[in-house]
Amino acid sequence: MIDAIRRPLGLRQSSERFRLLTAAVAVTAPALLLGIVIVLYQEAIPAISRFGIGFLVTSNWNPVTLDFGALPFIYGTVVTSSLAIAVAVPVGVAVALFLAEHGAAGLRGAVGTGVELLAAIPSVVYGIWALYVLAPFLFSHVEVPLSSRFGFIGFLAGPPGQTSLFSASVVLAVMILPTLSAVSRDVIRAVPKGLRESSVALGATWWETNWKVILPAARSGIFGAAILALGRALGETIAVTMVIGNRPEIPPSIFSPGYTLASVIANEFTEATGQIYPAALVELGLVLIFVAFTVNLVALLLVRRTESVTR
């Protein structure tokens, strides 16, 4: 609009120069994104050309014979992230419902700050806490009783270990909770006030209003929040590495040690020598980054769509 008005030539030139300068700086983020993908791909080429698509579906991991397959790590990543989501979604939505409510601003402010501080705690601190406190507790109070009573169900079978897929999932659930509850709260708050008011005016209770009106209206946004949290869980490295047990196998039970894509890179990358071994690790990173980017994009689209529909 403003550019359409005739202005002195110098002014227009300086405006154009400003646009170009800031654009040149703003290129950094997309360039980095492309750069990461290209650099990782190039480093992974030896492994990609040697193993082909079989890399994704075989489960050998032997640095001595140079035989590598990503399946145990893909399995560990998928199992821990999905379990974490299953644990965290009910809690996260409850927190979001609590925070989106009106009144008692002091209490809600305090709870909101508390949940956000949960996001501020470094991953490695969760790791050391999980290793020395959470995992032993889960072992003696959850894993042992469950596997001794329900061990006949395959995925609960014993013998349980102190470090396991299960402990890693619980830590992950705590770590993704802030993302889940913050995004869900925003989505719930974006639901038009009129919906809530009409429901209450019709005599619905608090629960009926939320369960039958608010949550259905916010459904796809909450789904987006869950997927966003899933993206976080997939890429989480350090805390998981410290409690998952680091064993490149596909265990039948969630109480057994496993391995994830991110944690095998963290543990083995500095020790990897030769050409194929590091390339295989980088290819794991490439798989991880592709999954994380896709998941993130889907989540963004979902959250944005809900926010624009409800607005």
Partner 1 sequence: MPFRNHWRRYKNAVALSAVYGLTGLALIPLALVLGYTIVKGLPAAIHPDFYINVERPVGIPGAGVAHAIAGSGIMVGIASLLAIPVGVVSGVHLVEFASGRWASWVRLAADVLVGAPSIAIGVFAYVLFVAPQHHFSGLSGALALAVLMLPVVIRTTEGAIALIPGSLRESGLALGLPRWRVALQLVLPAASPGIITGALLAIARAAGETAPILFTGFGNRSWNLDPTQPMSALPLIVFHDALTPYPALQEEAWGAALVLVALVLAVNLSSRWVLHRQLRMAGQL
Rounded to a whole number of angstroms, the minimum distance from the CB of residue 83 to partner 1 is 16
Stretch that binds partner 1, among 21-29, 66-74, 151-159, 218-226 (CB under 8 A): 21-29
Q: Is 115 in the site for partner 1 (CB under 8 A)?
A: yes
Which x/- pattern, by CB under 8 A, does the window 60-89 give for partner 1?
A: ------------------------------
Closer to partner 1 by Cβ: residue 26 or 309: 26
Q: Is 308 in the site for partner 1 (CB under 8 A)?
A: no
Asked if 179 and 236 touch (Cβ cutoff 8 Å), the reply is no
Rounded to a whole number of angstroms, the minimum distance from the CB of residue 152 to partner 1 is 30
Rounded to a whole number of angstroms, the minimum distance from the CB of residue 251 to partner 1 is 21
Please pick, from the candidates 54, 90, 159, 192, the single residue that binds partner 1 as defined by CB under 8 A.
90
Closer to partner 1 by Cβ: residue 150 or 206: 206
Which residue shows structure tokens 């966003």? 228
Stretch that binds partner 1, among 14-22, 52-60, 145-153, 187-195 (CB under 8 A): 14-22
The closest of 245, 82, 288, 86 to 159, measured between CA atoms, is 245
Q: Is 274 in the site for partner 1 (CB under 8 A)?
A: no
Q: Is 228 in the site for partner 1 (CB under 8 A)?
A: yes
Contacts with partner 1 in 242-261 (CB under 8 A)? 242
